[in-house]
Amino acid sequence: MLMIATTRRSSGTCTMAASSSSSPDAPPEYEGFLIRPASDSAAAEAAAGEGGHMQMLSDLGYSAQDISMVGTDGWILLDPSKVDPDARHGGLAALGTPESTEQILQDFKSRGYDAEPNYVMTAQVVPNDALYSSIAANMRLINAESAWDISKGSKSVKVCVIDSGIQFNHPDLAGNVITVHDATSKPNNNEAGAPAENDVHGHGTHCTGTVGAVGNNGIFVAGVSWSVSILGCKFLDNAGRGTTATAIICINWCRQQGAKITSNSWGSRSPATDALKAAIRASQDAGHLFIAAAGNNGIDIDNNDFSPAGIKLPAVIAVGAVDSSDRLAYFSNRGKKTVHLFAPGVDIISTYPTNTYKALSGTSMATPHVSGAAAVLWSYRPSATAAQIKEALLKGVDVVPGAALSQTGGRLNLRKSLQVLQNNFPLLDVLQDLDAASRPSRTSLEATFTVLHWVTRHSTTCPACAQLLQDVQLSTSGVPRAGHGTTA
């Protein structure tokens, strides 16, 4: 999980205090402002006219070098080094207090702009180099081993890890990582930049291994999804710091690359900004799941700001952390309305730069378990919607005491989530594979009878199965109608 640090600003500069010692009431750190013309405002008309944003901002005293475009919906980032309140905002006090920040925002709004702080996010985990004997405890806890008898994943499913980059040539990752892009290198471009071959920080490589380290290759670890196509987008710099603006660039890039899932082990004790919500909503509209760490503050986020896990959108799944005994991790945020489920997040062994492994703890470590599980589910039911995958994840949990303060009251169970999909879509795979216009093969007929037999056995516990036994007709010649005297 990534945590926000606190800051004090003076004359446009900032210093970062250690996030572990920050006061819960300290103002969140930010770097500059995200602004766009408010709808039906004079600023919007100016932006749409000749010169667009450039002319509009020139009128306020900014030059082209002062701004960066963020996303595709009109948001721009003002260079924090150029945000001089004394020079450009009528002698306002130096930034650093909630009051002065609010003054800056109100000044922009009075000129016809939507304005939000560009919040800073930093990586924070709890390292532990011991407990290597428990290397597979997390996979056993989520019942992954029995799930792998059914599905180990598929390269057809793309997961995008938004983090500090990935060591993509790590021997346990190279077979599954497609590419890694750097959103920190081109701040003036909507697209991510050049390939980021190395993850200096290590956080992203660790999370990636849990999602999809290559399985059954005789090396050290296996991910939840043995086979998967992993994309990486580096939004945290080598010190583990990123901002709302660079996160948005990554979210948009992952969507453009066709990822079905983003794994987001980062966050901020700040309100959810409209710009960030808009990027997630665009991915949601593309059929995407946004899986996010609930945070490491040990607080109830029903009553405290935490973003992006606290964003109330259907695509978002907020993940808390339990230990190997299903006890609530001491650091994990919780919330009966906001956190959806829990997953293993204590002493998780995974890949780490360079070509090594490390044990780390945090909701950062819990989140990729759920991301990997979603990938396995989608590989098993490729035509399932994001809502159906989310439903399977949440309905398949094991109810455990440590997860009581969540919507489900449960911890991830991959095998049970697969069972939810089996109950919801008993005939899906075979019906998709059969070509009703062609002569049936022996294989297709055998597959059909196998599924009909499964439906018959489950008709008392699966309402959809009972209905299918009455209603379904397989038009392939030679296949008897279900419910008319023949079962396999």
Alpha-carbon gap, residue 108 to 95, rounded angstroms = 15
| Neighbouring residues of 359: CB distance < 8 A, sequence distance ≥ 6 | 127, 128, 129, 130, 131, 132, 347, 348, 349
Q: How far is CA 392 from CA 85, 130, 146, 241, 403, in A?
A: 50, 34, 16, 34, 17
- Single out the residue of 272, 397, 378 nearest to residue 322, CA to CA: 397
163 is catalytic: yes
Q: Which of 170, 181, 203, 288 is catalytic?
A: 203
Q: Which of 163, 182, 199, 237 is catalytic?
A: 163
121 and 239 in contact (C-beta within 8 Å)? no
Question: 431: part of which helix (H) or strand (E)?
Answer: helix 428-433
> The pTM is what?
0.74
- pLDDT reported for residue 449: 54
Matching residue, tokens 């019942």: 143
pLDDT tens-digit readout, 132-174: 335 678 999 999 989 998 999 999 999 999 999 999 999 999 9
Q: Which of 227, 265, 361, 364 is catalytic?
A: 364
- pLDDT reported for residue 141: 95
pLDDT tens-digit readout, 22-67: 444 556 677 777 888 777 655 555 555 445 555 656 656 666 666 6
* Mean pLDDT across the chain: 76
- pLDDT reported for residue 46: 52
| pLDDT beneath 50, residues of the chain | 2-24, 49-50, 85-96, 124-133, 187-194, 428-446, 471-488
- pLDDT reported for residue 60: 61
- pLDDT reported for residue 227: 96
Per-residue exposure over 87-101, b if at least 16 CB sit within 10 Å of its own CB, e if not: ebbeebeebeeeebb
- pLDDT reported for residue 66: 65
